[in-house]
Structure 1
Amino acid sequence: MLTMSILLKLLFQLVSLLALISSTIVSANPYNRGRLGLSGGIFLQGDQTKSTKSSPHTNPETPKKDFEIFFYNQTLDHFNYKPESYTTFPQRYVINTKYWGGAKENAPIFVYLGAEAPLIKNETANMTGALLTDSAPRFKALLIYIEHRFYGKSVPFGSFENAMKNATLRGYFNSAQAIADYATVITYVKEKLSAPLSPVIVIGGSYGGMLATWLRLRYPHVALGALASSAPVVNFHGLLSYNGYRTIVSKDYKEVSKRCYRTIKKSWSKIDTVALRPNGLSILSQRFKTCSRINGSEELKNYLLEMYEVAAQYNAPPKYPVTVICGAIDAALKKTDILGRIFAGVVAIKNNQTCYDTRPDATYSETNKGYNWQTCSEMVQPFGAERDTMFQIDPTDNVVNFTKDCIDTYGVPPRLHWATTYFGGKDIGFVLQRFASNIIFSNGLRDPYSVGGVLKDISDTIVAISTINGSHCLDIMGARQTDPDWLVQQRQRELDVIEGWIRKYYVDLLSYKK
């Protein structure tokens, strides 16, 4: 009887798992709603070699000296108790113990929260130079980097493509599950290192900064504090105008060159006019040296739109991409027509290539595919353009059309207000000052996503650290000799604030032990 009971239980679990894997399949067509992520999207680059160390939960690989890769058997669903919820998948994380003062000293732990990209790109890793490694000696900190579920090698049932096609499995791909993953890995590592009292600071950029904020709010017993760089925590449907992002993009170009701004603004209608001519698409393809004949003017315009937006978002020293583009456009003023000037900007920022691939799927990466799903499910962020920008009027904050696109692509409508219902966002200053603490919201005001960031101090312990000339996530990138003083000072202030949190924690801990 006992044997039959066990067999029935195993059979039920197997059926549940098969149902999970074989759920409805839908296509994954792109739906572009803006860009998030760090410049380059990756902290890790360099050669990777095998490690000789072992662990009960992993097959470790060493990406570079001082860093070790591990895999944690992560729970698929943290919020249900159905048999299939207990399914596990390998979640990748990286540890650097070089500077750690150790568990006996309760030395701090800095945790980088991976976002919408693989933690390690092209199986290579090089974690030197990032803010975490730069600051680790000062704090004697242990460094942990955790990959977001469904990206890189942290994909349930192995294949990202298969996971994204599986409607049921895709349902576990969300921010609440992700921060529960992080809390679980952090708790596990602290337990294995016998470091229960080591304070944890979580750090993230862009979407990762949003996750850092939310982890601190949802799991204050896990994280002492959070550094949220370029985190658009209020950039959600119903909280902001859809015009904000592209207003700042336009402002960035106008500040560099009003002539460049006007040229770009006029170019859209010129492209449309040429496209309507006989052989107009062929003419545009020749003028812009596209790798294949464009299918319509929208293909070329979207290619240019993304180029302008990315340049503004990551308009960082020493190169300043917006200046590069505008310098080339203005320099070609007397040499060619408006289309030629725009193409000069393309060549300047993308280098002189044999051809330029303008196809929408040419750069459609894992990040695009994954975050498009997240945008269609819960991260509903408004994007569009009005007359006061350098772009064509584009009221894409059309909920009906957006919802239809998401249903056509994924079979489900977006939950427009779920993120702000679950995590908050409305009246964020008033709400957080009443209960929250120990969060740094850092922003560069040239970053278009700063429109959705926290730009004013909320309390003594929830502070906004902004720079007029800063760009997206620049402060948590590695220090360079060419860094301007304002960037050095921004990072220094952030670390001083974190040091204050940790110092107070040790005082409180000593008092608690008495």
Structure 2
Amino acid sequence: MASPPLLLLLLLLLLLFLLLLLLPLLLQHSSVDYRPYYYNQTLDHFNYAPQSYSMFRQRYLVSQRHWGGSGSPILAYLGAEQPIDKDLRAIGFLDDNGPVLDSLSVFIELKYPHIAIGVLASSVSILYFDNITPQNGYYSVVTKDFKQVSESCYQTRKDSWTEIDKIALQLDGFSVLSKKFQTCRKLENSDELRDALDTMYSHAAQYNNPPVTMMCHAIDQHSSLEKYPHSDIIGRIAAGVVSYYGNNTCFVNQIGVPTQTSTQTSIGWRWQTCSEMVMPIEKGLNDTMFPPSPFYLKKSARDVKSVLSKFGSNIIFSNGLRDQYSSGRILKDLSPSTVAVTTHNGAVF
């Protein structure tokens, strides 16, 4: 009978042999089935300033794996609001999309119907403009997502803003909040914490990652352990933060982690929503679980629905109703060829 070390060696040799047999097959299935190309693109097609005529090399990918050849339709996929490399690692090729670029796909179909046969417009907030969608729609959906999971979780979040402000006004208030929320560095003002919580709740509602249910479970579980009912609102919120971030050593203002002010996507998003596609998102007085924050810019808006009903064709608007941007999207059929598909418990997709 072979000794244990010899058996282990034989087992390793067997695994190596099997790996060598399967390696060609693995390489075949994991090989990249698309090729990168570059196009000399004009910087800005809609601005006649001299710098707008500058050129840049726009990268795009082409896959012919499922293409039928000359005369067959071409699927144009407009990305997911981030660089191609990150797209491929996160969602693969032609597996998902982004609401901003999908909005462009709708207008491409309207402007060039002779080229675009049809459009699948997933998570497109083209109705989120003044006098079309209620300005508190975004945060109303976030609130609804949390309230549907747990009434006590919703109420805790709603009450927490006053509690945060109350502690922040104390002499050592920022130290207390920093300790409670295990911040990576001491808070300099309460807005730093409030903004982080706002982003956290919105992200959980929109992407369901981590699920809202997980955050609410942590809050409600902490509440059940309190000696006196409603005695530790901040502790409950902090428990939700821990469930959101997982096993991190610190939370909220992590050093070295990309923030809302540093990523390419966030910078581009802020520029677009303040220039090309202004979305008047506000928090009304006592109509969400967030503190009030009005939107001041007043702008007129065209009737997008009317335009789509008259000129749109072969457009599918797909939306998850748990995504807060769904409040500004097409949720009902506009015509026999411009239709809406919704998923009641779906997030952004």
Task: Name the TM tier (shorter chain).
Answer: 0.7 to 0.9
For 1:129 and 1:80, the matched residues in 2 are separated by: 32
Letter in 2 for 1:429: K
Q: CA deviation at 1:86?
A: 4.7
Letter in 2 for 1:332: H
2:325 match: 449
Letter in 2 for 1:231: V
C-alpha contact (below 8 Å) 2:110/2:311 kept by paired residues? no
Check 1:79–1:366 CA distance in 2 against 1; reply closer, same or farther (3 A cut).
closer
2:60 match: 93
Q: CA deviation at 1:65?
A: 1.6
Check 1:113–1:349 CA distance in 2 against 1; reply closer, same or farther (3 A cut).
same
C-alpha contact (below 8 Å) 2:280/2:297 kept by paired residues? no
1:121 match: 86
Check 1:361–1:275 CA distance in 2 against 1; reply closer, same or farther (3 A cut).
farther
Q: CA deviation at 1:365?
A: 0.6
C-alpha contact (below 8 Å) 1:240/1:382 kept by paired residues? no
Q: Which has the larger radius of gyration?
A: 2
Check 1:86–1:302 CA distance in 2 against 1; reply closer, same or farther (3 A cut).
closer
Match of 2:220 among 330, 333, 338: 330
C-alpha contact (below 8 Å) 2:77/2:94 kept by paired residues? no
Letter in 1 for 2:215: I
C-alpha contact (below 8 Å) 1:264/1:342 kept by paired residues? yes
2:296 match: 398
Name stretches of at least 5 consecutive residues in structure 1 with no aligned partner: 1-62, 133-203, 401-415, 421-425, 474-514
Task: Identify which of structures 1 and 2 has the higher relative contact order when contacts are C-alpha pairs closer than 8 Å and 6+ apart.
Answer: 2
Deviations 1:227-281 (A, max 9, x none): 1101000112343222110001000000000010011111111111011111100
Check 1:355–1:80 CA distance in 2 against 1; reply closer, same or farther (3 A cut).
closer
Q: CA deviation at 1:432?
A: 2.1
Match of 2:241 among 331, 342, 346: 346
Letter in 2 for 1:449: Y
% identical equivalent positions: 46
For 1:82 and 1:278, the matched residues in 2 are separated by: 53
Superposition TM-score, scaled by structure 2 size: 0.82
Aligned residues: 311
| Residue aligned with 1:131, SS | coil
C-alpha contact (below 8 Å) 1:237/1:380 kept by paired residues? no
Q: CA deviation at 1:116?
A: 3.1
Check 1:451–1:340 CA distance in 2 against 1; reply closer, same or farther (3 A cut).
same
Check 1:66–1:390 CA distance in 2 against 1; reply closer, same or farther (3 A cut).
same
Q: Within 5 Å, which residues of 2 pair with 1:312-323? A: 312-315=205-208, 321-323=211-213
RMSD (CA atoms): 2.5
1:509 match: none
C-alpha contact (below 8 Å) 2:139/2:324 kept by paired residues? yes
1:372 match: 270
Match of 1:381 among 258, 270, 279: 279
Check 1:457–1:340 CA distance in 2 against 1; reply closer, same or farther (3 A cut).
same
Check 1:125–1:302 CA distance in 2 against 1; reply closer, same or farther (3 A cut).
closer
C-alpha contact (below 8 Å) 2:180/2:234 kept by paired residues? yes
C-alpha contact (below 8 Å) 1:77/1:86 kept by paired residues? yes
Deviations 1:183-233 (A, max 9, x none): xxxxxxxxxxxxxxxxxxxxx431122111111111212211111101000
